[in-house]
A and B are shown apart, each in its own frame.
Chain A
Amino acid sequence: MGEIAVSMKHINKSFPGVKALDDVQLTLRTGEVMALLGENGAGKSTLMKILSGVYTRDSGEMKVFGKKIEGDLDTKRAQDLGIAIIHQELNMCQHLTVANNMFLGREIVKNGRLDSKEMNRQAAEQLAKLGITDLDPEATVGDLPVGRQQMVEIAKALLIHARVLVMDEPSSSLSNAEITEMFRIVRELKAMGTAIVYISHRLQELHHIVDSVTIMRDGKYITEGKFTDFTMDEIIANMVGREITNQFPRDFVPRGKEILEVKHLNAGRMVRDVSFEVYEGEVLGFSGLVGAGRTETMRAIFGADPKESGEIVLDGKTLTINAPEDAIRQGIVLAPEDRKKEGLCTKLSIRDNIALPNLDIICSKSGKVNKKTEDEMIEKGKNTLTIKMAGPEIEAGSLSGGNQQKVVVAKWLARESRVVIFDEPTRGIDVAAKVEIYQIINALKKRGVGVIIVSSEMPEVMGISDRVIVMCNGRITGEVDPRATTEEEIMTYATQFGDNAE
């Protein structure tokens, strides 16, 4: 074990309404790969953003190579200290060359002209240090496979003499061969004495490179230690081990007949051979890690993304769904994941937003909007969901997050649908609003509507669903009864990537 590269103690960080980090600590040594583990929202990314100067800490002590950091760190200062971070979504200029990207912001200039030759030479040299000799520094980054682009990012980090490297979910978008290549490079870096923080949900792969682990949960530090001292079960237990309190109002309704059946659905890389059924009077939960393919599955069913193959049967009838309008007309609706981006026309009024998918009901044959029907619909939506607003004419974008989400839900309640899909319906909204949405879900269930809920919050999906399907990497990896299962079991299914590295 080398010297201590980074030490963070008693770190606190609050965002409006949320305590993101609560007395968190972390110790990282040179020549070591440390896995930073925890569920989505455990605070891993926040902690790393504080280390790399993207966020500032509220309180706490930070030391980098023994030097105490006074005051706030910004990204520039963090870079000067040798801290580099490689984000899950790569930050590359797709149209520029490899060398251009590596030298972005610190181009070599000779006599007022870019010295491309020198930059290409140094880029090639840097890549060679990582054992990559077959990558042309003049290749356009956008043409490279994702794995290669990641190599360029790593090489770029080395160019600024990074001694502490944070890798956030680096293997999530890589192929098996690319993962093997990346692990080789990580070992290379380790040998050079670089300290590496490795964030990943792919627990099965960790043993190839990881020396130590730090586990976080709900913004708190849980434990740390040598990787070999933990069993996989212990790691998972530490990641999810919160007590499950019953804050979820679940009503029991006897399961009725089958409403929806999805057979062998394929749509892109993230939806592979997905089959499941939904019954009357049940809430079907979809669990899994972020990027497991749950949203993609729902979008494909709804017609928002094209399908490659598969069959969707509603009430015994096979449906043809090429666009969302087909799904809506036939009784399947989706309240999407990202309300700002996909759920709301933020510039339009609340009235227009609620009316938008229901204009076929509201309008007369000639297409004239019937104000009376519309007003009744708005009134009904407002009352069932207690949307706090100055009036239905104000812009939807001016509402608070919780109220925006209620508008997104309200617009789908006005019509008699057979299946309602909620994708992350309670993300970023307060507890009171959450409970209201759970009650809506229960009300739908009682009316005999089939409800699907996609949620990354484990307690939520376990608390509200009658049956839970777990996905990983575009496939269904398990189905559990939430009353009889444990979070550990779900987590085990959710991380069944298999061991992809040699």
Chain B
Amino acid sequence: MNKKKNSFQKFMAIPGMASVITAFAGVVILMIIFAVMNPNFAKQRNLLNLTRSICPYLLVGIGQGIVCITGNIDLSIGSVLGMSAMISATLICNGVNPIVALIIDLAACLAVGVVNGILVGKFKLPPFIGTLGTMTICRGLAEIVNGNYNTGDIGNAPLAEGLRDLFYYGKIGFLYYGVIVTLIIWFVFNYIMNYTRTGRHIYAIGSNVDAARLSGVNVFKTTATAYMISAFCSFVAGLVTMAAAGMGSMQAGLSYEMYGVAAAVIGGISTLGGSGLLVGVIAGASVWAILQNGLTLANVPVAMRNIIIGIIVVACVLLDIMRRNGMLGKKNK
């Protein structure tokens, strides 16, 4: 009994774990509230849909979360997402083999990550400004790819159908392939963040960039890696959006950089860098998707929905900050 308590205490002592637990508690509470409000919410069909709609939020949350841990921010996420959807769809509609299309698309997205990395990591542009620039540029690229039009349907060729299935429609048992793909990506990056040298370096530059540099960390390389991870996540999220619609939309991914911030921050990742766990992003993305889904089912108008979500997000983070500062604690400190 005593030993068990100790390992539990050890678990809770992991920096950032308490915030993660809070976030997951929030997920459970929200689900209970919506289940009580509307019986349709807890139905299997809706819950399955929910798992699928979490995916893009989780993907951009992983990317933004990792960039946040380095102490920076990536505003280009939404635009890269749109670019990814537009480039892949345009190429496929023009008869390019979907696999080749995806490779070209991936290269383009990663290039944006590299540019972000150079601007912020090498030339020390404030990340807000540097990625604001690439955000605008990439949105422009997304529009220009197909001559300022959305693309048509990507067609029913076997590989195109495969894309739709892989990223959105197909499922095995209760699990959509898209959810599996997203979870695999999460596992890979969670592993990198927690068990590899690259992950340690990312935390270190976010915590104290001077100390990290004096400890031999290559700050530029690490910053660029984080931005490339973020670009990769946006690339996949773009494919999910494209697969869902079966076409490329120039508006795809609008505001997703902010959804990424929300998922990361609700999940306990500090925008100041150096702390936070990727497991929290799962909770953060879930909160976001559940709010969207639950409020829609409750027939709340869009405008009202936005207001409510905004308030809840701020409240979540405020609560977490107050808890960390011990303002909610009774007499401790």
**A356 touches which of B10, B14, B217 (Cβ 8 Å):** B217
B306: interface (CB < 8 Å): no
- What string of 1s and 0s marks CB contacts (under 8 Å) between B203-234 and chain A? 11001101111111110000000000000000
Stretch of B74-82, B89-97, B192-200, B309-317 with 4 or more beta carbons under 8 angstroms from chain A: B192-200
Q: Which of A361-398 contact B (CB under 8 A)?
A: 362-363, 366-369, 391, 393-395
User: Does A342 contact B196, Cβ atoms closer than 8 Å?
Assistant: no
Q: Nearest chain-B residue to A325 (Cβ)? A: B216
Docked-complex contact B214 and A304, CB < 8 angstroms = yes
**Given A346-B208, A347-B15, A393-B10: A302 in contact with B203 (beta carbons within 8 A):** no
Most chain A CB atoms below 10 A, which of B198, B213, B218: B213
B304 at the interface (CB under 8 A from A): no
Main SS class of interface, B: helix
Using a Cβ–Cβ cut-off of 8 Å, how many residues does chain B contribute to the interface with A?
25
Query: Cβ of B14: which chain A residues have Cβ within 8 Å of it?
Result: 393
Task: Say if the beta carbon of B131 comes within 8 Å of chain A.
Answer: no
Query: Quick one: given A352-B204, A368-B196, A393-B14, are A342 and B218 in contact (CB under 8 Å)?
Result: no
Kindly state whether residue A329 has any CB partner on chain B within 8 Å.
Answer: yes
Compute how far the CA of A352 lies from the CA of B204 in the bound complex, rounded to whole angstroms: 8
- Interface residue A317 (Cβ < 8 Å from any Cβ of B): no
A432 to chain B: closest CB distance in Å?
A: 25
Asked if B208 contacts A352 (CB within 8 A), the reply is no
Choice from A329, A343, A348, A359 contacting B207 with Cβ under 8 Å: A348
The answer to whether A323 and B15 touch (CB under 8 A), given A346-B208, A367-B198, A369-B197, is no
Q: Is A328 an interface residue (CB 8 A)?
A: yes
Q: What residues of A have a CB within 8 angstroms of the CB of B214 in the complex?
A: 302, 304, 324, 334, 336, 342-343
Q: With a CB–CB cut-off of 8 A, which chain A residues contact B198? A: 367
A303 to B171, CA, bound (A): 54
B275: which A residues are within 8 A, CB to CB?
347
A336 to chain B, nearest CB (A): 6
- A residues near B188, Cβ cutoff 8 Å: none
B13 within 8 A of A: yes
- Judge whether A345 and B212 touch: CB under 8 Å: yes
Instruction: Report the separation of the CA atoms of residues A72 and B14 in the bound assembly, to the nearest whole angstrom.
Output: 45
Set A302, A336, A341, A363: member contacting B196, Cβ < 8 A: A363
Cβ of B274 under 8 Å from chain A: yes
Q: Are B200's CB and A369's CB within 8 A? A: yes
- Which residue in chain B gives the minimum CB-CB distance to A396? B207
B307 CB to nearest A CB, Å: 34
A341 CB, nearest partner CB in chain B, Å:
6
Residue of B nearest to A342 (CB): B210
Residues of the B chain whose Cβ atoms lie less than 8 Å from the Cβ of A362: 197
CB of B133, distance to nearest CB on chain A (Å): 24
Q: For B13, B15, B208, B211, which residue has the most chain A Cβ atoms within 10 angstroms? A: B211
Chain A residues whose C-beta falls within 8 Å of the C-beta of B208 in the assembled complex: 341-342, 344-347
Assess whether A355 is interfacial by the CB under 8 Å rule: yes
Query: Which residues of chain B are near A324, meaning CB under 8 Å?
Result: 213-216
- B residues near A359, Cβ cutoff 8 Å: 197, 200-201
Q: Is A357 in the interface zone, CB < 8 Å from B?
A: yes
Smallest Cβ-Cβ distance to B191: which chain A residue: A368
Q: Are B195 and A341 in contact (CB under 8 A)?
A: no
On whether the beta carbons of A357 and B274 are closer than 8 Å, the reply is no
User: Which chain A residue shows the least CB distance to B218?
Assistant: A325
Q: Is the CB of A347 within 8 A of B207?
A: yes
A327 to chain B, nearest CB (A): 8
A349 within 8 A of B: yes
The 8 A CB mask of A329-344 against B (1 = contact, 0 = none) is 1000010100001111
Closest CB in chain A relative to B68 CB, distance in Å? 13
In the complex with contacts A359-B197, A363-B196, A393-B10, A341-B210 CB distance below 8 A: yes
Tell me the bound Cα distance from A369 to B198 in angstroms: 10
Contact residues in B for A346 (Cβ distance below 8 Å):
207-208
Do B15 and A349 touch (CB < 8 A)? yes
Q: Find out whether the CB atom of B204 lies under 8 angstroms from the CB atom of A348.
A: yes
Residue of A323, A329, A344 with highest tally of chain B CB at under 10 A? A323
CB-nearest residue of chain B to A369: B195
Give B residues with C-beta under 8 Å from A. Answer: 10, 13-15, 195-198, 200-201, 203-204, 207-208, 210-218, 274-275
Residue pairs across A and B with Cβ atoms less than 8 A apart, 10 shown, are A324-B214, A324-B216, A343-B211, A343-B214, A345-B274, A359-B201, A362-B197, A366-B196, A391-B10, A393-B15
Q: A367-B198, A368-B195 are in contact. List 19 more A-B contacts (CB 8 A).
A: A324-B216, A328-B215, A336-B211, A342-B214, A345-B204, A345-B212, A348-B204, A348-B274, A352-B200, A355-B200, A359-B197, A362-B197, A363-B196, A367-B197, A369-B200, A391-B10, A391-B13, A393-B14, A393-B15
